[in-house]
Amino acid sequence: MKNSSMPRRQHPISVLFFIMKIVKDMIYPLAAFILSTTLREDVHPLWLWGGIALFSAVAIALGALSWLRYVYRLESNAMHVEYGLIIRKKLSIPRDRVQSVDMSAGIVQRLFGVQKLVIETAGGRKPEVVLSAVSKAEADRIRTAMVKDASDAAVPGAGSGAHDDGQGPSGASAGSADGSAAARPLYRVPTGRILLYSATSGRIFLSLAIIAALYSQFDDWVRNLGLFDPDAWEAVMPSDVKGWAWFAAAACAVIWLLGTAVITVKEYGFTIERQGGKLLIRRGLLERKQFSVAVERIQAVQVTQNALRRMFGCASVNLVTFASIKNDGQIHSLLCPLVPVRDIPELLAAFVPEAVWPEDFERPGREALTGYIAFPLSVAAAAAVPGLIWIPGGYGWTALALPAAALLHGVLRFRHAGWRLSNDGIIVRSGGFGVQVAFIPRRRIQWLRTKVSPLQARRKLATLQVVTASSSYAAVWLIRHIPQAKAAELIERLRGRQPSPSLILSPVSANRTDSGSS
């Protein structure tokens, strides 16, 4: 990388984003001032408007000063940033520590032809550098300097070979007209599949639960604000059970449609491209985003199917990286929103060749079934007892659906449990109504551990924990209720050591294999 010690600033429109950040940080004092002046009768309105004008002037001045004082430069395989109005802060980011360099363009950025650039490092809980507005050329310059293998990334005409038909991620040439450039995998998720992904997203059902909880407080809120008219409310709302059922169904349908539209806009035009040693992921309709992930930074690959997507034979593919594991323990880095299960081997071979889809899995024996169903069934049965007693109208028997669902879930967890050991790592399958398959490279495993509960000890079973490296939150995969000897054998092999003969089980042991198709 060429040395460039000349400090640079962001595009002047970034002043607007600095102002917005200042307003966001000071919104509570501003709200307290507005409420205190409007609720007091002895305060002249000029105080209110004068205070708002003063606040606006201060925010604009601080935003402009923040823009002037925020400078950066690229030098010696590192990025140096200086910022701060009173206390001057300096930040240096070595190129080798960069986890990802992401670019996006919201409505404001697209109006001015600039992009937002976010740099994350391994070990950081939040982005180290956020440049709200830089030119496209400057964003490419920074990405080229800070991401390994990025120097061969930008090729004119890239994206022209995207697969709109969704038939598979075959190599698409994005080079010059004479075909001298090497073909690079390029895959575009069809719009129809994006719609299916949005419509079957579990986040929509979570939003329904949140809205239902907020609705229970709606009466009190509008009453306190003096906006509630009981007579008008009773005239509008249903008066019988059938009417309420139709009202609830219509409300759920509207929320589902809105949620589907929001997710579709966010994921529209999802494109994956492999360029050298990194992956470029582009998505978004109103806000066009571009993420870059170094292949060497990928800790694991996880394929996920929820119950609805299993009906359509599709799954989502996620990348496990330092930046993708958040404080909720979930994985947030999509490689592909939705892809047919039959196309997953080809997709992985094109973009993450280290993850090889297995033909079959080794499974726990039948003695493990009790471990999968005993605890959830006991809890569900205890929870169903009050329903059997107190549900009126002779409908107490409906509480039995709870233990029945727990029993079915436990049986499905047993059927889906499996693993496959290879020379490069281990593949773990788990799930109940949904299914998850994780590809964990041996070199990414941080530590391994076995746990034995009292119920497992009686049957000489154990649970194996496989943990990959992470910044603050670990990505953990469990292989439950397998023979203790098998758990010890897996640990020895994943550590690169040959297990002792006493740990190797015979072919007639309790472990079975089944097809890799889920």
pLDDT digits (tens, 9 = 90+) for 7-47: 899 999 999 999 999 999 888 888 888 888 877 777 788 88
- Residue 19 is predicted with a pLDDT of 94
- Residue 206 is predicted with a pLDDT of 55
pLDDT tops 70 at residue 207: no
pLDDT tops 80 at residue 162: no
CA atoms in the 13 A half-sphere facing the CB of 30: 16
Q: Which of 84-88, 310-314, 408-412, 505-509 has the lowest mean pLDDT?
A: 505-509
The domain locations on the chain are: 8-146, 187-230+240-297+306-320+334-351, 366-495
- Residue 137 is predicted with a pLDDT of 92
The model's pLDDT over 441-495, given as tens digits with 9 standing for 90+, comes to 998 898 899 999 988 998 999 999 999 865 555 688 999 999 999 999 999 999 8
pLDDT tops 90 at residue 508: no
pLDDT tops 60 at residue 506: no
Query: Residue 438 in contact with residue 477, Cβ under 8 Å?
Result: yes
368 vs 209 pLDDT, higher one: 368
Average pLDDT over residues 382-403: 89
Average pLDDT over residues 309-331: 73
Average pLDDT over residues 48-54: 89
- Residue 371 is predicted with a pLDDT of 92
373 vs 504 pLDDT, higher one: 373
- Residue 75 is predicted with a pLDDT of 85
- Residue 328 is predicted with a pLDDT of 42
Measured CA to CA, the distance from residue 268 to residue 194 in angstroms comes to 7
- Residue 315 is predicted with a pLDDT of 95
Per cent of the chain over pLDDT 90 is 43
Q: Which of 29-38, 67-76, 318-327, 507-516 has the lowest mean pLDDT?
A: 507-516
* β-bridge pairing 425-430 and 418-421: antiparallel
- List the helix and strand counts (H, then E) for the chain: 16, 23
C-alpha dist (Å) from residue 205 to 208, 255, 378, 409, 422? 5, 9, 27, 19, 38
C-alpha dist (Å) from residue 347 to 183, 303, 350, 436? 15, 11, 5, 17
Buried residues in 210-237 as b, exposed as e (16+ CB within 10 A): eeeeeeeeeeeeeeeeeeeeeeeeeeee
- Residue 71 is predicted with a pLDDT of 95
- Residue 340 is predicted with a pLDDT of 95
- Residue 517 is predicted with a pLDDT of 42
- Residue 161 is predicted with a pLDDT of 39
pLDDT tops 70 at residue 176: no
Q: Which residues pair with 183 in a beta bridge?
A: none
- Residue 316 is predicted with a pLDDT of 95
Average pLDDT over residues 161-190: 55
Give domain 8-146's CATH architecture: Roll (2.30)
**CATH topology (fold) of 366-495:** PH-domain like (2.30.29)
Mean pLDDT over the full length of the chain: 80
Per cent of the chain over pLDDT 70 is 76
What 3-state class would DSSP assign to 195? helix
Are 8-146 and 366-495 the same fold in CATH? yes
- Beta-strand (E) ranges in 367-444? 418-421, 425-430, 435-441
pLDDT tops 60 at residue 168: no
The model's pLDDT over 243-275, given as tens digits with 9 standing for 90+, comes to 778 888 888 888 888 888 989 999 999 999 998
319 vs 333 pLDDT, higher one: 319
Q: Which of 127-136, 389-398, 503-512 has the lowest mean pLDDT?
A: 503-512
- Residue 76 is predicted with a pLDDT of 77
pTM above threshold 0.85: no
Helix (H) or strand (E) holding 249: helix 241-267
Query: Residue 318 in contact with residue 301, Cβ under 8 Å?
Result: yes
Measured CA to CA, the distance from residue 160 to residue 154 in angstroms comes to 13
Measured CA to CA, the distance from residue 487 to residue 312 in angstroms comes to 35
pLDDT tops 80 at residue 165: no
124 vs 377 pLDDT, higher one: 377
